[in-house]
């Protein structure tokens, strides 16, 4: 690692600062997705010039070990030679046709073969599109209006999913987390705390359960930090949705192909009706998908009357990158190696946090640190979350050439290409931060 230190020990980023300031004049907040602005961290974001393996380089020449990995998309790190080759090769023959290509069949067959609950699959461009389509499909299939989601679970930014619980379980009275969402839309999305058996039982015995089209959830949550499901919580959801005639939708945009080749559903032995995929399935390109039972997927146009479309859906460059990624993931020992690296990072930190006011939670290669709480099972457990301490940690690591996901509510991601020496450097840095807490 070659770090450009200033006298104050922090990395110098004059060019990043300039580009960010110029961007603010023409792009709202200077960024094309809010978390990139580092607004809550009191920092000017770095502007990235390139990435290779587990490293990114900013426009000022500073290197960072990347533990965000494009929010979990890059399970083989940056610019993996075989993924690059697959994409470049396709580009030489044309990058978009707006018409079917053979590679779409190849990757569809591959996913159907790998994930037993997926009998058919439709490719889209973003996780937001996948979950939005899943909502429409569930409503079209069941003829019912309501969706149940869980507080702290993020499913992209379509109107009906930008909703959290407001006054809690008892009233099931959700509030939109964005202006511009109409009261009618809000009324059709219900919220429960995650891992709360009593709240779920109460909901499923209420009259609203009969109006339910679907329950959507992140089976392992990555958007309120990493929160696994309680034993039997997913089983209960499966039983109850089936009993009331609603669909169970797993949003595996993060967990799909990360928690093993069959995702969270394989890990926990649950068969959802629909699955949303994203991130890893595009090998670093904008790809997502909705898959599931044949009778439900066949409700999509042109076979059925639930409309969904996309100019760039199934884009062949992105499909080739995704297909190559799935091929690489099936090589022997890949997931074991990623898990080994994740443990190498997490285990010493877990030990160091035992007698501190904080904890680390990890499932496979998803993990993060929480300050101010000792255990997180649901979003409501984060009332005392110490975001200021997280911002301090982020700053501390950032100045040492370590880039973690820039939010106290987000997972960090380990890739197959993280070097042991880089992980050890990150562990040493985090331990020294914890000692100084």
Ligand X SMILES: Cc1ncc(COP(=O)(O)O)c(C=O)c1O
How many residues belong to the site for ligand X (CB under 6 A)?
A: 16
User: Using the rule CB under 6 A, is 127 a contact of ligand X?
Assistant: yes
CB of 333 closer than 8 Å to CB of 155: no
Nearer to ligand X, 62 or 223 (CB): 223
Nearer to ligand X, 128 or 265 (CB): 128
Cβ at position 286, least distance to ligand X in Å: 7
Chosen residue from 54, 60, 251, 386 binding ligand X by CB under 6 A: 251
Nearer to ligand X, 71 or 370 (CB): 71
User: Using the rule CB under 6 A, is 256 a contact of ligand X?
Assistant: no
Nearer to ligand X, 224 or 297 (CB): 224
- Contact string (CB under 6 A) for ligand X, positions 63-102, x = contact: --------x-------------------------------
Residues 251, 273, 386, 399: which is the catalytic one? 251
User: Using the rule CB under 6 A, is 218 a contact of ligand X?
Assistant: yes
- Contact string (CB under 6 A) for ligand X, positions 169-198, x = contact: ------------------------------
User: Using the rule CB under 6 A, is 128 a contact of ligand X?
Assistant: yes
Q: CB under 6 A: which stretch of 247-255, 258-266, 302-310, 353-361 binds ligand X? A: 247-255
| Residue 4 burial by Cβ neighbours in a 10 Å radius (0-12, 13-18, 19+) | middle
User: Using the rule CB under 6 A, is 159 a contact of ligand X?
Assistant: no
User: Using the rule CB under 6 A, is 154 a contact of ligand X?
Assistant: yes
Q: CB under 6 A: which stretch of 109-117, 122-130, 208-216, 351-359 binds ligand X? A: 122-130
CA distance 77 to 285: 13
Nearer to ligand X, 156 or 283 (CB): 156
Chosen residue from 126, 189, 320, 368 binding ligand X by CB under 6 A: 126
User: Using the rule CB under 6 A, is 144 a contact of ligand X?
Assistant: no
User: Using the rule CB under 6 A, is 38 a contact of ligand X?
Assistant: no
Chosen residue from 30, 140, 156, 266 binding ligand X by CB under 6 A: 156
CA distance 412 to 393: 13
* 196 part of the active site: no
* 251 part of the active site: yes
Cβ at position 433, least distance to ligand X in Å: 26
Q: For the chain, give the secondary structure using H, E and C.
A: CCCCECCCCCECCHHHHHHHHHHHHHCHHHCCCHHHHCHHHCCCCCCEEEEEECEEEECCCCEEEECCHHHHCCCCCECCHHHHHHHHHHHCCCCCCCCCCHHHHHHHHHHHHHCCCCCEEEEECCHHHHHHHHHHHHHHHHCCCEEEEECCCCCCCCHHHCEEECCCCCCCCEEECCCCCCHHHHHCEEEECCCCHHHHHHHHCCHHHHHEEEEEECCCECCCCCECCCCCHHHHHHHHHHHHCCEEEEEECCCCCCCCCCHHHHHHCCCCCEEEECHHHHCCCCCEEEEECHHHHCCECCCCCECCCCCCCCCHHHHHHHHHHHHHHCCCCHHHHHHHHHHHHHHHHHHHHCCCCEEEEEECCEEEEEECCCCCCCHHHHHHCCHHHHHHHHHHHHCCCEECCCCCCCCEECCCCCCHHHHHHHHHHHHHHHHCC
Chosen residue from 16, 37, 62, 131 binding ligand X by CB under 6 A: 131
Structure tokens at 342: 């994740």
Residues 120, 149, 279, 378: which is the catalytic one? 279
User: Using the rule CB under 6 A, is 278 a contact of ligand X?
Assistant: yes
First to last CA, the chain: 26
CB of 3 closer than 8 Å to CB of 11: yes
Residues 141, 154, 335, 409: which is the catalytic one? 154
Q: Which of residues 323-382 bind ligand X (CB under 6 A)?
A: none
- Contact string (CB under 6 A) for ligand X, positions 287-326, x = contact: -x--------------------------------------
The residues annotated with a catalytic role in the active site are 154, 251, 279
**Which chain residues interact with ligand X by CB under 6 A?**
71, 126-128, 131, 154-156, 218, 222-223, 251, 253-254, 278, 288
């Amino acid at each position: 690692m070659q770090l450009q230190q200033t006298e104050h020990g922090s990395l110098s980023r004059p060019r990043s600062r300039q580009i960010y300031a110029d961007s603010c004049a023409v792009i709202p907040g200077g960024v094309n997705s809010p978390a990139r602005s580092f607004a809550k961290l009191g920092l000017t974001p770095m502007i990235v010039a390139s990435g290779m393996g587990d490293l990114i380089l900013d426009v000022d020449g500073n290197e960072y070990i990347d533990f965000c990995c494009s929010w979990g998309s890059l399970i083989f790190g940056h610019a993996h030679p075989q993924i690059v080759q697959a994409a470049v090769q396709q580009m030489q023959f044309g990058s978009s046709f707006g018409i079917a290509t053979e590679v779409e069949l190849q990757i569809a067959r591959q996913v159907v073969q790998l994930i037993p609950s997926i009998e058919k699959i439709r490719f889209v461009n973003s996780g937001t599109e996948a979950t939005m389509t899943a909502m429409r499909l569930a409503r079209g299939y069941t003829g019912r209006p309501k969706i149940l989601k869980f507080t702290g679970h993020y499913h992209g930014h379509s109107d009906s999913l930008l909703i959290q619980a407001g006054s809690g379980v008892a009233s099931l009275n959700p509030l939109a987390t964005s202006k511009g969402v109409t009261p009618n839309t809000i009324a059709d999305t219900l919220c429960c705390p995650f891992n709360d058996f009593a709240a779920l039982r109460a909901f499923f015995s209420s009259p609203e359960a009969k109006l339910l089209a679907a329950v959507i959830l992140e089976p392992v949550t990555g958007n309120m930090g990493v929160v696994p499901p309680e034993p039997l919580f997913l089983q209960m959801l499966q039983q109850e949705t089936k009993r009331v005639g609603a669909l169970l939708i797993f949003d595996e945009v993060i967990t799909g192909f990360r928690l093993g080749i069959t995702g969270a559903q394989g890990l926990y032995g649950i068969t959802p009706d629909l699955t949303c995929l994203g991130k890893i399935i595009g090998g670093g390109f904008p790809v997502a998908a909705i898959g599931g039972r044949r009778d439900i997927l066949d409700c999509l146009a042109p076979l059925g009357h639930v409309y969904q479309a996309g100019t760039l859906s199934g884009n062949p460059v992105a499909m080739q990158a995704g297909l190559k990624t799935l091929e690489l993931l099936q090589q022997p020992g890949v997931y074991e190696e990623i898990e080994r690296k994740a443990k190498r990072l997490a285990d010493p930190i877990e030990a160091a946090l035992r007698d501190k006011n904080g904890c680390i939670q990890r499932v496979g290669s998803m993990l993060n640190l929480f300050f101010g709480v000792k255990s997180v099972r649901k979003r409501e457990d984060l009332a005392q979350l110490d975001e200021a301490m997280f911002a301090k940690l982020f700053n501390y690591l950032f100045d040492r050439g370590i880039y973690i996901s820039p939010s106290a509510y987000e997972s960090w991601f380990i890739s197959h290409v993280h070097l042991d020496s880089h992980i050890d450097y990150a562990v040493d840095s985090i331990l020294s931060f914890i000692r100084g807490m």
